[in-house]
Amino acid sequence: MRYLHTMVRINNVEESLGFYCGLLGMKEVRRYDSEKGRFTNIFLAAPLDEGIAKETKAPVLELTYNWDPEKYTGGRNFGHLAYEVENIYDTCARLQKEGVVINRPPRDGKMAFIRSPDGISIEFLQKGEPLPPAEPWTSMQSTGTW
């Protein structure tokens, strides 16, 4: 497993970049705008991680700006922790065997979500290309929220 990113939602791009980049010295390493999803993801790296973050896309802080105004309460501004895994199916099967609920199964062979005992959302992303669709994951429904 390899640490990838932590995601936080922001209300104002300029203000947030002023804080994270201007005051903390973080560096923007990439940005993604989704017209369909109506959001912007801005990925920041600590100064000493900038080179590796550009090369491997980790470790970074993901700032998510939703284009439609939303008031974040109850920790909704914190999104999730993300980890890259060698085999998403094996990882989910092992955790499920130990009683962990797979909130968002890896139906696509690429992404899954679970929650920690404290309710922190954790995303697993398949290293490299997605795995071919496989049961029981393909037909498994999502459970709860993530």
pLDDT tens digit sequence for 67-116: 998 887 767 778 888 989 999 999 999 999 999 999 999 999 999 999 98
Q: Annotate 53-85 with b (16+ C-beta within 10 A) or e (fewer).
A: beeeebbbbbbbbeeeeeeeeeeeeebbbbbbb
- Which fold does the domain 2-66 belong to in CATH? 2,3-Dihydroxybiphenyl 1,2-Dioxygenase; domain 1 (3.10.180)
Q: By C-alpha distance, which of 122, 112, 111 is closest to 80?
A: 122
Q: Which of 15, 35, 123, 135 is catalytic?
A: 123
Residue ranges of domains in the chain: 2-66, 86-146
- 123 catalytic? Reply is yes
Residues 6+ positions from 16 with CB-CB distance below 8 Å = 10, 42, 63, 65
Cα(139)–Cα(146) distance, rounded to whole angstroms?
18
- Full-model pTM: 0.73
Coil, helix or strand at residue 84: strand
| Rounded alpha-carbon distances, angstroms, from residue 84 to 36, 43, 101, 114 | 25, 16, 19, 14
Query: Which tens digit of pLDDT belongs to each residue from 37-60?
Result: 999 999 999 999 999 999 999 999
Residue 44, both tokens: 């920041």
Residue 37, both tokens: 């999803």
User: Which run of H or E residues covers position 92?
Assistant: helix 88-97
pLDDT band at 117 (very low <50, low <70, confident <90, very high): confident
